């Protein structure tokens, strides 16, 4: 069964999280080292700005000490600090945690889309390192599928829940798309940068930056792939802009109602959207009274965020129900792995007995036609399959409840099988109730 050990934004401050984070180029070798530790059967490392987690297959009793020791050797942090800030999930909790993480229910901003891509990348890097086995491979393929299902069947990712995202959502309502829009940033504040990055991510291609310090404007413009403009040409450049993000440190308003009226005439009715995220405000509230000029300040954006948070809370309930159902299906499969080797051994044992008896009695039957030999062989196989069905069904039912350990031992003893094994399942060509289990939602050939 899987184990998850790590820390996230809720369990550790940024100063601690950044010390345990792995750079992406370092992950393949690190996860390979993790996999080579005694007792670790499979391994994956997920490392983002908000979390670092080790997912492994190993005995729970050894996990905390083993994984804390690994992190303390790999990163500049002590085992005592890890004990204060790390969590450990195993078995059912681990599966649900991986599913919730991929679906962004465990994120700082619930519903954000970035985490799914990060989970996919971690899965790919672990695969490249050769540290995945049948359990973690199936777990993360299933987690990616569940995350897509949550996003498709709920509205958890539709409504923005941050000031910057809210500004993007309102701008989209006004302009529809951003391909032909120009953004002008007035000032060089952190929130303005974030809002601009979100707009660029949604298709904005032209970004202008104006600041009283041209050097700072140029630095921000370079970071955003845009162009710095002199502050004394602010209103001339504003005539070309569709979205203005105001974020200066001025003690008074920078853009007045009269400025907006001149802009509206110069733009000949084309709408312009002001996002004022400065404190105190950069844009005179009277600007909102001018035709085709739209103004949203921090209070407006906060109201949008609060409304969207309420909406997302309702969607989270639906998302959690999806995850619970999918986790139950996956856990039933993973428990069935404990009985699968016995099912395979039992099938092999009874079919070997049937083949041996057919060979032993072959001489007593006299000369048979090929059709008669086929009929005898089919009769023996049918008899074996009918005998196999009840113990196979009993094993699978027990596995769904408690893993079937007691029933496995009993059946192995009754049928004279060798000691129980936990090796991966061999391929089986026969479908039906007596076949060993495959990961839920897969054909056994898919690669996510």
Question: Looking at the DSSP assignment, which residues form a beta bridge with residue 4?
Answer: 55, 89
Asked whether 5 and 98 are in contact (CB, 8 A), the reply is: no
Query: Nearest-CA neighbor of 339 among 379, 392, 384, 303?
Result: 392
Q: How far is it between the farthest Cα atoms of the chain?
A: 111
- Residue 25, number of CB atoms within 10 A of its CB: 8
Q: In what order do the strands lie in the sheet with 42-47?
A: 42-47, 51-57, 2-8, 87-90
Residue 86 annotated among the catalytic residues of the structure? no
Between CA 410 and CA 315 the distance in angstroms is: 47
Between CA 430 and CA 442 the distance in angstroms is: 16
CA pseudo-torsion sign 168, 171, 176, 178? negative
Query: Nearest-CA neighbor of 272 among 300, 253, 299, 296?
Result: 296
Angle between helices 298-336 and 91-102 (to 10 degrees): 140
Between CA 280 and CA 342 the distance in angstroms is: 72
Between CA 37 and CA 62 the distance in angstroms is: 11
The catalytic position among 10, 49, 321, 365 is: 49
Count how many residues are written for the chain. 448
Please report which helix (H) or strand (E) contains residue 192, including its range. Answer: helix 190-201
- Active site positions, annotated: 49
């Amino acid at each position: 069964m899987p184990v998850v050990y790590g820390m996230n934004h809720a369990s550790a401050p940024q100063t601690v999280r950044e010390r345990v984070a792995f750079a992406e180029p370092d992950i393949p070798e690190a996860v390979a080292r993790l996999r080579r530790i005694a007792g670790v059967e499979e391994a994956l490392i997920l490392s983002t700005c908000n979390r670092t987690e080790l997912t492994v297959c190993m005995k729970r009793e050894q996990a905390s000490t083993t994984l804390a020791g690994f992190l303390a050797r790999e990163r500049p942090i002590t085992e005592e600090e890890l004990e204060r800030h790390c969590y450990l999930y195993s078995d059912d909790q681990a599966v649900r945690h991986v599913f919730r993480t991929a679906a962004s229910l465990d994120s700082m901003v619930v519903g954000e889309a970035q985490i799914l891509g990060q989970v996919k990348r971690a899965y790919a890097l672990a695969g490249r390192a050769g540290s995945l086995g049948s359990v973690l491979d199936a777990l993360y393929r299933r987690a990616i599928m569940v995350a897509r299902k949550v996003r498709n069947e709920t509205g958890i990712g539709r409504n923005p829940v941050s000031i910057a995202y809210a500004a993007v959502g309102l701008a989209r309502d006004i302009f529809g798309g951003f391909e032909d829009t120009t953004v002008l940033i007035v000032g060089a504040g952190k929130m303005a940068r974030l809002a601009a990055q979100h707009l660029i991510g949604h298709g904005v291609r032209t970004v202008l930056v104006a600041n009283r310090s041209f050097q700072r404007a140029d630095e921000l413009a370079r970071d955003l792939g845009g162009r710095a403009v002199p502050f004394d040409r602010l209103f001339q450049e504003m005539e070309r802009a569709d979205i203005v993000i105001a974020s200066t440190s001025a003690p008074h308003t920078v853009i007045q109602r009269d400025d907006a009226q001149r802009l509206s005439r110069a733009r000949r009715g084309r709408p312009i959207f002001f996002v004022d995220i400065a404190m105190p405000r950069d844009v005179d509230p009277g600007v909102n009274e001018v035709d085709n000029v739209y103004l949203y300040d921090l209070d407006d954006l906060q109201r949008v965020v609060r409304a969207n948070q309420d909406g997302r809370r309702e969607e989270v309930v639906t998302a959690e129900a999806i995850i619970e159902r999918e986790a139950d299906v996956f856990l039933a499969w993973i428990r069935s792995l404990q009985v699968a080797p016995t099912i395979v051994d039992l099938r092999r044992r009874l079919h070997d007995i049937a083949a041996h008896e057919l060979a032993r009695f072959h001489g007593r039957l006299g000369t048979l036609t090929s059709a008669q030999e086929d009929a005898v062989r089919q009769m023996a196989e049918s008899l074996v399959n009918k005998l196999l069905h009840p113990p196979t069904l009993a094993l699978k039912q027990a596995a769904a409840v408690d893993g079937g350990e007691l029933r496995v031992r009993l059946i192995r003893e009754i049928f004279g099988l060798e000691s129980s094994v936990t090796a991966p399942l061999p391929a089986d060509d026969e479908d039906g109730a007596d076949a060993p289990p495959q990961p839920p939602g897969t054909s056994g050939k898919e690669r996510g």
